[in-house]
Structure 1
Amino acid sequence: MSGKLTGKAREKALAGLKGWSKVKGRDAIEKTFKFKDFNEAFGFMTRVALVAEKMDHHPEWANVYNRLDVVLTTHDADGLSDKDVTLATLMDKWAGKAGKTTKK
């Protein structure tokens, strides 16, 4: 189990994430990824799902055609943890390497 991020550790971790925003009313972060088409979006989700399962950390997400809306929070910690930052960083890296565009 990961502990909840607080104080300066939280500020530092969130400062390193580009395009992620705080979810209103929750201790969570969110981002929308936009891909060329459904196939790219679903392929990305599949790659992330395999890693998320190994991490025992599962994103909240919704996919419509080429758009993927993601919310990350750690339910066991009742808020943001290192697991969320790790998964967000990985998602950004994979989306960027594949030439996919991301937007808030």
Structure 2
Amino acid sequence: MIEIEVQNETHQTQSRIRFAAVPRIGEGIRLREPDGMWASYDVLDVWYQKAEFGDVWMPYLHVRMTPGEGSGGGGGGGSREPGFEDYDTGYGHGAVHAGELEPFKI
């Protein structure tokens, strides 16, 4: 396990968390919010600093909440996959793959 300091831009907090591998820039991770709920965060930056002891380099992460995750949208993932666009079905919002044809309506 690798202990990594996570600097949370959304809540302006710092914490040390153990990971099996160091996440890369652009990857998403799930972190527990102060209210106990889980939320998605995007890794904005990863850097290493030399530790105070020995010849060891410690990893640091800079994260921010995934857009749309904190809007109270009720549990779907945060960001959408590329190639998806919103459209109004008259019954609420949905997603259709770009270039996909809608079924014929009688």
**Where on the TM-score scale, by shorter chain, does this alignment land: which range?**
under 0.3
Q: Highest Rg: 1 or 2?
A: 2
The normalised TM-score by structure 1 is 0.22
More helix by share: 1
